[in-house]
Amino acid sequence: MASYTPMIQQYLKVKAEYQDAFLFFRLGDFYEMFFDDALKASQELEITLTSREGGGENKVPMCGVPHHAARNYIEQLVEKGYKVAICEQTEDPKHAKGVVRREVVQLITPGTLMEGRGLTDKENNYIASLTSFDDQTFGLAYTDISTGESRVTLLSAHFDEVLNELAVLSAKEVVVAQSFDGELQKRLRERDVLAISFEDNDSIGDSYAHLLKDVKQNKLEQTASRLFNYLYRTQKRSLDHLQPVATYQIHQYMKIDYYSKRNLELTETIRSKGKKGSLLWLLDETMTAMGGRMLKTWIDRPLIDRSQIERRQNMVETLIQHYFERQDLREKLKEVYDLERLAGRVAFGNVNARDLVQLKRSLLQVPLLKEILKGLADEEAFKVADELDPCETITDLLEQAIIENPPLSLKEGNMIRDGYNQQLDQYRDASRNGKTWIALLERQEREKTGIKSLKVGYNRVFGYYIEVTRANLHLLQEGQYERKQTLTNAERYITPELKEKEALILQAEEKCGELEYELFTEIRELIKEYIPRLQALAKAVSSLDVLQCFAQVSEERHYVKPTFSDERRIAIKEGRHPVVEKVLNTQEYVPNDCFMDNEREVLLITGPNMSGKSTYMRQLALTAILAQIGCYVPASEAVLPIFDQVFTRIGAADDLISGQSTFMVEMLEAKNAITYGTQNSLILFDEIGRGTSTYDGMALAQAIIEYIHKHIGAKTLFSTHYHELTVLEDELSKLKNVHVSAVEHNGKLVFLHKIKEGPADKSYGIHVAELAELPKELIKRANEILQTLEEPAALEVSVTKESIIDQPLTPQAQVKKETKNEQPSQLSFFDEPKEHKKQDLSSKEKRILDHIKELNMLDVTPLQAINTLYELQKKLKG
Ligand code: ADP
């Protein structure tokens, strides 16, 4: 290090403290990066990599961005999940002895954005902190520093639950102690774009002790303190807008794990990861950004407390009944600016006069909102109205102080109204008087000289001047005018009097600018005092916004108010899938009923592919979620239990992030449901067991159903293409078969999307393939193969009703039962028949067996499997 130049040495010293961040090192008009940072940044930002002499043996790699364009580059890096440390010159180079002093003034990280394109209006940007107390106890705190909202909870659960919470929050960054378990850190890193940061200090700091006033438990204090210590250490500026930390418990809400959220496409779709096509997209009729964020939080955390749900419902009902008032509310809400983020920026000191005008306009809507609500003559609406605090002091102050259209800049003046401050008025008078005098001067000079074209003008370099065209120069009296500037056609002059006035005007203007800035800062400080009230108002407005949004959607889409059953009864008439219904425009959505009670706990759904099985299942889950967030539901009548949790295993959720095979994910999801599910849960299993070989999968599917039926008793929808499972209805008293009907019309399949009682009678796979327009030849062949398979000789491998339920047995199965009676009979067909021990096989048979062993069942389609089977059988037959 000694051989490096002093500047590079300084760089290395600062960099040592910010190893995990890009260090933007201020050099003149540029932020430069060196060494590895330079190599990486040149790639990530696609900027040129250069190098410079640094005193060492080799040149030092370097790349840089102009400081005025830095914001864009910083945002790009932060969006990719990196951190950026901004290192500025903190002394005037003129006074520096040796290398100018430089210090990191702010660490910008994915979780600490206050503005810019990394922040989406309708989404929160959370940073979390985690403290592990033992394997099963984790403290989790989080805050959105752009809104100041903070919460903390203790999770007495497996680390999965912690990951789940982080996923629900879409936290961008998580702060842990250096000593946080390495294996768990690895699991955190496996999460999408989640930056990890470290903070060892978890003792309460004075500067934020007030934020912890409602937190009574040591572990929670420690967790929240870790977060705040990190923020105070890295942000190095006022965080006065942070709200006191609220404690919460996850079991206050309906639990929907990460996989299920994704499967149900609550806030984003599986495929595009975008909002469009999600439940959030369907519901989002909010008028404010704050309402949009709250809607997302509500969807992420449906309620389980009946009275809370009913409070929301009642307000939605009132708003539905008052169409005109609701439209009025919507109009007014549209004018309300993002008060929550504004409060944050007031605290940070980066609001301008335009923001304050917007604040005023927003606040002016509040009395109007209250009036409309009171006009509804409804108890609940009264309560909502009471929660709206118009903060009149601020409105009055801003009304008096700030003009209607101020400039963006705070340094140019023209923000403060006349009459707000005497001193300012005096300066303004001086400047205005001076200007009037100058305007008069033009007239006087024209009269005096007789030059009609004489002008008095102003430019930045020369100040005020008198301009006379060349042709008229002879009319000027010698000695009275001092020449200042020569143009092609004219000369510009000044006079001592003019200069004197000019000095007065400019001085007054400068003073105006300074004073205006001072007054503005004063106003901003005054508003700071109101931050908690503004935040409370923001909450009240957001929730009103979401409730009107529920009313709007419910009315437009003809939803009904659900009622809740204490007997765990589901009675939905003409239910619809809210999103599919909206998307389908060519075809009418076919509504379906759903009835379940203590005698009908598990519905086994059969039916061809593409007939609507998974849509039906999702429909139920979405209906339950809509009901529990307080919205109406897409049905003509709906009675629902209050579910504590929803579990799903639906569709092929490719889990590339964690690098697990689809089947493994399937099993993990099943495990979640079976481990954590209760009688009050809803379980949706779509084609469980599909990811492995037929018998394997079917055996698992059956065992899972039996287990749920016997041990959990959760309301369960189970769709399957194993028709063989439908016989379970005879064995399991609370399981009922339903199927999605389809009819064959001229040899083609027509889906009716209608759920009916009883099992489906036939598998329509080949018809679906035909519908998908696979080559005719192939379809014909598949039909032939199917026929071969259905011939009696194939009975031994095709699973029949008899073989599954153990009564009455086919002759073949009978033989097996006698020879191998230690296995449960329904699985007997999985056993290798005794007479086929491998050592007795011919080499051809061995080859064929090896071939089968090597087949990767996850890689082949059912049709390929059938074809392979056919080929192998042909070979065996000789
Ligand atoms: P499956 O799970 O049986 O393979 P899906 O539930 O994926 O079938 O449904 C296939 C398609 O059928 C859906 O994309 C949807 O467009 C349509 N569909 C499903 N249910 C209905 C319905 N009730 N009314 C109209 N169309 C439906």
250-309 pLDDT, tens digit each: 889 999 988 788 889 999 888 888 889 999 999 999 999 999 999 999 999 999 999 999
**Ligand 1 centroid distance, CA of 611 (Å):** 5
Mean pLDDT of 588-601: 94
**Ligand 1 centroid distance, CA of 785 (Å):** 28
**Ligand 1 centroid distance, CA of 581 (Å):** 10
Query: Sheet containing 102-108: which strands, arranged edge to edge?
Result: 50-52, 60-66, 30-34, 21-27, 83-89, 102-108
Query: Distance (Å, rounded) from C-alpha 129 to C-alpha 113?
Result: 16
H-run or E-run covering 190: helix 182-190
Helix, strand or coil, per DSSP, at residue 418: coil
- What are the φ/ψ torsions at residue 736 (nearest 5 degrees)? -130, 145
610-643 pLDDT, tens digit each: 888 989 999 999 999 999 999 999 999 999 999 9
- Please say if the pLDDT value at position 645 is more than 70: yes
CATH superfamily of 6-108: DNA repair protein MutS, domain I (3.40.1170.10)
Q: How far is CA 793 from the centre of its chain?
A: 56
**Ligand 1 centroid distance, CA of 868 (Å):** 31
One DSSP character per residue, 790-835 reads: HSGGGGGTS--HHHHHTSSPPHHHHHHHHH-TTS-GGGGGGSPPGG
| CATH architecture of residue range(s) 422-524 | Orthogonal Bundle (1.10)
Paired sense of beta strands 50-52 and 570-575, if any: unpaired
- Tell me which CATH code domain 126-252 carries: 3.30.420.110
> 611: Cβ below 6 Å to ligand 1?
yes
- What are the φ/ψ torsions at residue 837 (nearest 5 degrees)? -60, 145
pLDDT at 653: 44
Q: How far is CA 752 from the centre of its chain?
A: 36
815-871 pLDDT, tens digit each: 333 333 333 333 333 333 444 444 567 777 888 888 887 777 777 777 788 888 888
Instruction: Write down the domain spans for the chain.
Output: 6-108, 126-252, 284-391+530-556, 422-524, 563-763, 799-877
Query: Residue 174: CB partners within 8 Å, gap ≥ 6?
Result: 111, 127, 128, 129, 130, 166, 188, 194, 195, 196, 197
Nearest protein CA to atom 13 of ligand 1, as residue: 612
Q: How far is CA 84 from the centre of its chain?
A: 22
Query: Distance (Å, rounded) from C-alpha 102 to C-alpha 87?
Result: 6
**Ligand 1 centroid distance, CA of 726 (Å):** 21
839 secondary structure, DSSP code = G
Q: Do domains 284-391+530-556 and 422-524 have the same CATH topology?
A: yes
Which class in CATH covers the domain with range 284-391+530-556? mainly alpha
788-806 pLDDT, tens digit each: 776 654 444 333 333 333 3
> 612: Cβ below 6 Å to ligand 1?
yes
Query: Distance (Å, rounded) from C-alpha 136 to C-alpha 161?
Result: 10
Three-state SS string over 79-122 comes to HCCCEEEEEEECCCHHHCCCCCCEEEEEEECCCCCCCCCCCCCC
> 589: Cβ below 6 Å to ligand 1?
yes
Query: Distance (Å, rounded) from C-alpha 158 to C-alpha 167?
Result: 15
Check if the beta carbon of residue 623 is closer than 8 Å to that of residue 640: yes
400-455 pLDDT, tens digit each: 999 999 998 888 888 999 999 999 999 999 888 888 888 899 899 999 899 999 99
Pick the CATH number of 563-763 from 3.40.50.300, 2.60.120.380, 3.40.50.2300, 3.40.605.10: 3.40.50.300
pLDDT at 783: 81
**Cβ-based burial of 236 (10 A; exposed 0-12, middle 13-18, buried ≥19):** middle
